[in-house]
Amino acid sequence: MANYTQESFTRKLDNQPLFKEAVTEFLESIFPFLEQYGPDEEVYMRLERLLEPERTITFKVVWENDEGILQVNRGYRVQFNSALGPYKGGLRFDPSVTEDVLKFLGFEQIFKNSLTGLPLGGGKGGSDFDPKGKTDNEIRRFCVAFMTELSRYIGANTDVPAGDIGVGAREIGYLYGAYKRLQNRVDGTLTGKGTGYGGSFIRTEATGYGAVYFIKEMLAHVGKNIEGMRAVISGSGNVATHVAEKLIAEGALPLTLSDRDGYIYAEEGLLQEIVDAVKVLKEKKGSLKDLPLPHGCVYCLGTPWKAIKAQLFIPSATQNEIDEDNAQAIVANGAVLVAEGANMPSTLDAVKVFKESGILFGPAKAVNAGGVAVSGLEMNQNASHTQWTTDEVDAELRMIMKRIHDTCVRYGSVGSRVDYVNGANIGGFVRVFEAMKQLGW
């Protein structure tokens, strides 16, 4: 057999550091797991194929700004793996978007989607377009130009995009509006749509709510209760605000929300009114430093990781926001549990610190799978031309998050402890790997 090692799989990826980071974390779980197959070359060759996207589409996006001057951005869609179903995953609009960013996100998405138990493949797309400082008309013209290219490659049974950083309800509306006009088809391609035109109830809230449902499962597994727990949250977008909202509903105390410049902190816990005000502010792409704050709530520059003591730490902004140094501070600051609301917010070194410290650590592909899960339910509703009630969708979401937790316990248990990184990686992997085998891939 050829000599397959973890290193032989990542050697070629030095020019794609984020994708390499995601693959490395994954292989650290998968290599020991594959030992049970013995020296079966076919297994390792299939793994090699899994690391290569089925298709990557790059396209030019030309749009007109309010001064009538043409602007150019780059658009992408990484159609990573369709073994389980249509490619499924969000679109990110942010100046930091590169093929490397989208490959790491698309790769993670494969196993996250697999964990939901729904028939969803994995993909991710986006653009280096910066929505900050753009007028509503500019955002709309960009979305139409982006979709003019992307619409040829997507479809309800091919590839179903959704939102991510910089792509929320407004952008999904413009993108879907453009798609419908270009394709003359109303088939639900794109999820996260408004509930008045084909969207599912609870999709907006699903990632944050699902993360809290998963955290509750993790705590319950070790006999702990979320009520009264203090939580540091980063980010102030879709995921972070709905994590905060659900924590309040569960009797826990979200202490912080952050953005690129700083964070707001309330020692007694942020109230729902502040969370609502943050949602309104961020819809207009405002900064937390401009938010009027009530007594007991302060604005601080920087990040909260080293400054605030809490039991729960829920990074929900972006990748690599927690390095080794931050991770050590988090452990020292009393963490009982770290749960990744964002995709890959902890560096490899940070994950190592969390694992070695013995605290509970929930990786992104399990914790934040609630968003794509309800996207899958939205596809289901669209295909059957129906709309479920809020309670029906919420009950499904809770059930799916519990099922993901069960899968992590099944594949990640070491004695009475659960290694959620191994559990999520292996649990997500086996379904995709088996499907690829049966498909003759």
Residues in a beta bridge with 70: 64
Q: Which of residues 290-319 bind ligand 2IT (CB under 6 A)?
A: none
Asked if 368 is part of the footprint of ligand NDP (rule: CB under 6 A), the reply reads: yes
Binding mask 275-294 for ligand NDP (x = CB under 6 A): -------x------------
Asked if 85 is part of the footprint of ligand NDP (rule: CB under 6 A), the reply reads: no
Chain-centre distance for alpha carbon 57: 21
Among 73, 113, 238, 407, contact with ligand NDP (rule: CB under 6 A): 238
Asked if 210 is part of the footprint of ligand 2IT (rule: CB under 6 A), the reply reads: no
Task: Cite the active site residues.
Answer: 124
Asked if 200 is part of the footprint of ligand NDP (rule: CB under 6 A), the reply reads: no
CB-based closest residue to ligand NDP: 237
Least distance between ligand NDP and beta carbon 281 (Å): 9
Tokens of 193: 């749509």
Length of the chain, in residues: 441
Q: Where does this chain touch ligand NDP (CB under 6 A) — which range of 16-24, 28-36, 265-273, 340-348?
A: 340-348
The span from the CA of 414 to the CA of 403, in Å, is 19
Asked if 363 is part of the footprint of ligand 2IT (rule: CB under 6 A), the reply reads: no
Residues 6 or more apart in contact with residue 411 via CB below 8 angstroms: 422, 423, 426, 427, 430
Asked if 100 is part of the footprint of ligand NDP (rule: CB under 6 A), the reply reads: no
Among 94, 159, 164, 396, contact with ligand 2IT (rule: CB under 6 A): 164
Asked if 345 is part of the footprint of ligand 2IT (rule: CB under 6 A), the reply reads: no
Tokens of 375: 């996207």
Asked if 342 is part of the footprint of ligand NDP (rule: CB under 6 A), the reply reads: yes
Residues 6 or more apart in contact with residue 175 via CB below 8 angstroms: 91, 143, 146, 147, 161, 167, 190
Q: Give whole-number Cα distances, 343 to 122, 280, 298, 365, 380, in Å.
A: 14, 24, 27, 7, 25
Q: Where does this chain touch ligand NDP (CB under 6 A) — which range of 145-153, 164-172, 377-385, 432-440?
A: 164-172
191 contact, one of ligand NDP, ligand 2IT, none, CB 5-8 Å limit per kind: ligand 2IT
Q: Which of residues 212-271 bind ligand 2IT (CB under 6 A)?
A: none
- The DSSP line for 156-208 is TTTEEEE-BTTB-HHHHHHHHHHHHHHHT--S--SSS--TTTTPPTTHHHHHH
Asked if 81 is part of the footprint of ligand NDP (rule: CB under 6 A), the reply reads: no
Phi, psi (rounded to 5 degrees) for 316: -140, 30
Beta strands of 267-359 (E only): which ranges?
297-301, 312-314, 337-339
Asked if 151 is part of the footprint of ligand NDP (rule: CB under 6 A), the reply reads: no
Asked if 343 is part of the footprint of ligand 2IT (rule: CB under 6 A), the reply reads: yes
Among 172, 317, 329, 379, contact with ligand NDP (rule: CB under 6 A): 317
Least distance between ligand NDP and beta carbon 252 (Å): 19
Is-contact 85 117, C-beta < 8 A?
no
- Burial tier of 54 (Cβ tally within 10 Å: 0-12, 13-18, 19+): middle
Q: Which of residues 369-408 bind ligand NDP (CB under 6 A)?
A: 371
Residues in a beta bridge with 413: 418
Q: Where does this chain touch ligand NDP (CB under 6 A) — which range of 61-69, 230-238, 244-252, 400-408?
A: 230-238
Q: Which of residues 92-151 bind ligand 2IT (CB under 6 A)?
A: 109, 112
The span from the CA of 237 to the CA of 259, in Å, is 8
**Residue whose CB is less far from ligand NDP, 94 or 419:** 94
- Burial tier of 117 (Cβ tally within 10 Å: 0-12, 13-18, 19+): middle
> CA 73, 74, 80 angle in degrees (round to 5)?
155
The span from the CA of 38 to the CA of 371, in Å, is 37
Is-contact 381 388, C-beta < 8 A?
yes
Among 125, 161, 198, 237, contact with ligand NDP (rule: CB under 6 A): 237
89 contact, one of ligand NDP, ligand 2IT, none, CB 5-8 Å limit per kind: ligand 2IT
| Residue in the structure block whose two tokens are 């319950």 | 220
Asked if 372 is part of the footprint of ligand 2IT (rule: CB under 6 A), the reply reads: yes
88 contact, one of ligand NDP, ligand 2IT, none, CB 5-8 Å limit per kind: ligand 2IT
Asked if 77 is part of the footprint of ligand 2IT (rule: CB under 6 A), the reply reads: no
Beta strands of 65-189 (E only): which ranges?
70-81, 87-93, 122-127, 159-162
Tokens of 128: 């280096």
**Contact set with ligand NDP (CB under 6 A):** 163-166, 168, 207, 235-240, 259-260, 282, 316-318, 341-343, 368, 371
**Contact set with ligand 2IT (CB under 6 A):** 88-90, 109, 112, 162, 164, 191, 343, 371-372, 375
